[in-house]
Amino acid sequence: MQKGNIRVQTENIFPIIKKFLYSEHDIFVRELVSNAVDATQKLKTLSSLGEAKGEIGGIGIEIRIDKENKTLTIADRGIGMTEEEVDKYLNQVAFSGAEEFLDKYKGQNENNIIGHFGLGFYSSFMVSEKVEVITKSFKEGAKAVRWECDGSPEFLLEETEKAERGTDIVLHLNEESLEFLEPARITTILEKFCRFLPIPISFEGKQINNVAPAWTKKPSELTTEDYQNFYKELYPFNEAPLFWIHLNVDYPFNLTGILYFPKIKQSYEIQKDKIQLYSNQVFVTDEVKDIVPEFLMLLQGVIDSPDIPLNVSRSYLQGDPNVRKINSHITKKVADKLEEIFKNDRAAFEEKWESLGLFVKYGMMTDDKFLEKANKFNVFEVAGENKFYTLEEYKIATETLQKNKEGKQVVLYTTNPIQQDAYIQAAISKGYKVVKMETLVDAAFINNMEMKWEQISFTRVDADIVDNLIDKADHVDSVLSKDDSEKLKGLFEKQQSALHITVEVKGLSNDVPPVVATRPEMMRRMKDMGAAGGGMAAFYANMPDEVTLTVNGNHKIYQHILAEGDTDKQEKQVRNLADLALLSQDLLKGNDLTNFINRSVELMNKEQEAATLS
């Protein structure tokens, strides 16, 4: 038997480890199970090289709870350790790392700790008042030994009896950590951190892990059903994914994984942090923003790379060239996959566009390399046609009609095809093509693309009267005299509450409505973005609406209104026409809407009374 002090000069090494080693105490399960996996895989490797004599027999890791003795045991049948190895690895090597850790990080935030200290085993002292290690090496003739430490620099190392090779780590839990004697608690931790480890892990008589998850296999070995079943294993309550990308790189970095494109029917369903990061099948984190480009955070699935630098708790990524390379590689793989689907089966691509469009547009705004590729497969759905156009196809189709005086191609768009139907139909009657831009990202997308796409200008279909949407038209002369135009303008200049209204009388086509309400394109864009964001954006959202009422002086209804002798009736008719135009822009609300309804009923009653008298 050997007693002694662990070879460190600092007496308070354990309190420091307990305080700073990990931010979440349950990670000790992951660390100890991961060490057991490493020990087992080393034995398998030595056996394959002929360096381990005899059959290795059954291998696996078992977690056991003993509530009566307040112990939690992690047992493996791996490589084991001799007395000399226990002394070396537990008393010298790891603690030399601990001293380095102490010198460098005492008093600092634990998130800055870099994970090369070999301290995983000592996470056990965060929850234990005493730790025993009972181990027997695979080496022929090796004797079993027991190491014991109570969290002070003092240890005990002695020979013991153990029938089989491998290592048992017995944690005598402290009073604050008795939660880890509850099977449900341990099951939750194992399912989170260890569900895909490559060595069978059993708890309560049941294997809890899939030792060969889909991403560890070659794509040629997997069927569509295999990919879909793995997705269900990851996200049991989700609909089947649209499609997936299998990552498999071994140079200049190691990276495997499967990324799934989920179905997203509505913009509000967008969820981030659904990609899980693993290192050699050990769960690390689901916060992968440094590895995966921001726009692909909407994807789901698994990434596994041993080349990603992690801190000692494996919870925070550090800046590293490999991370940037992996980020770029994932972007390229996604872009290539989307282009491949678009070229090979455009109809299927367009069917998925409701979900895909969010990924593609988000990527085009935030990643110029992705933008360059996405220009080939980003599509616009044209209202009234049930047809999709790429930007180049749209430009060709609208070349003659939709260029403004500056020579820019004008992309007309709608954010609400139902509400803006009258404006859409007016534009279609002119031969214009109106694209649907209905998602949460579209307002920002339009602003970004106007800066990135040369000679392209976006205009919402209700931003102006149809004759002015493309700034080139020669307007029809008004049939009204100057005096009648001024009188008509005066009748319409009735301010609505909370609205800034400008009235103009123009000679428009006979098929244009009597009054058209429009809002300036840039002001409306700012209000739309303000409604979606906070801070300064909220300032724009709360600004009064600026509205232009364009009165079509050529509409025959005004011949009757101007000839109306009843001044009160004349003003109410004009007010109703103005309110109808505001209603089409969803700008007639509250008391103004109530007054419009009451006024309409009153005018209808007067018309009925007049008809009865005549």
Residues 555 and 426 in one domain: no
- Cβ pair 286, 273 in contact under 8 A: yes
362 part of a folded domain: no
Tell me the pLDDT tens digit for each residue of 504-533.
888 877 777 889 888 877 777 776 666 655
Residues 27 and 162 in one domain: yes
Residue 124: helix, strand or coil by DSSP? helix
Task: Share the mean pLDDT of the chain.
Answer: 83
Return the CATH number at 124: 3.30.565.10
367 part of a folded domain: no
Consecutive H or E run containing 370 = helix 368-374
Return the CATH number at 578: 1.20.120.790
What total of structural domains would you count in the chain?
4
* 546 CB-near residues (< 8 Å, 6+ apart): 500, 502, 519, 520, 523
Return the CATH number at 296: 3.30.230.80
Residues 106 and 190 in one domain: yes
- 99: buried, middle or exposed (CB in 10 Å: 19+, 13-18, 0-12)? middle
Q: What is the pLDDT of residue 435?
A: 96
Residues 173 and 86 in one domain: yes
364 part of a folded domain: no
- Cβ pair 403, 470 in contact under 8 A: yes
Residues 236 and 174 in one domain: no
CB atoms within 10 A of CB 576: 17
Pick the range with the lowest mean pLDDT from 61-65, 363-367, 415-419, 496-500: 496-500
Residues 153 and 294 in one domain: no
Residue 75 — pLDDT band, cuts 50, 70, 90? Answer: very high
d(CA 157, CA 141): 19
Residues 504 and 530 in one domain: yes
- Could you list the residue range(s) of the whole structural domain that residue 218 is in? 214-348
Q: State the average pLDDT over residues 77-93.
A: 85
Return the CATH number at 408: 3.40.50.11260
- 193: buried, middle or exposed (CB in 10 Å: 19+, 13-18, 0-12)? buried
Question: Among 164, 184, 207, which residue terminates a domain?
Answer: 207
Tell me the pLDDT tens digit for each residue of 257-289.
999 998 876 554 456 558 998 888 988 888 787
Q: What is the pLDDT of residue 394?
A: 95
Q: State the average pLDDT over residues 336-350.
A: 94
Residues 25 and 150 in one domain: yes
d(CA 450, CA 367): 15
**How much is the pTM?**
0.74
129 part of a folded domain: yes
Question: Among 207, 233, 252, which residue terminates a domain?
Answer: 207
335 part of a folded domain: yes
Residues 591 and 515 in one domain: yes
Tell me the pLDDT tens digit for each residue of 354-371.
888 988 999 999 899 999
Residues 199 and 159 in one domain: yes
Residues 7 and 82 in one domain: yes
Q: What is the pLDDT of residue 453?
A: 93
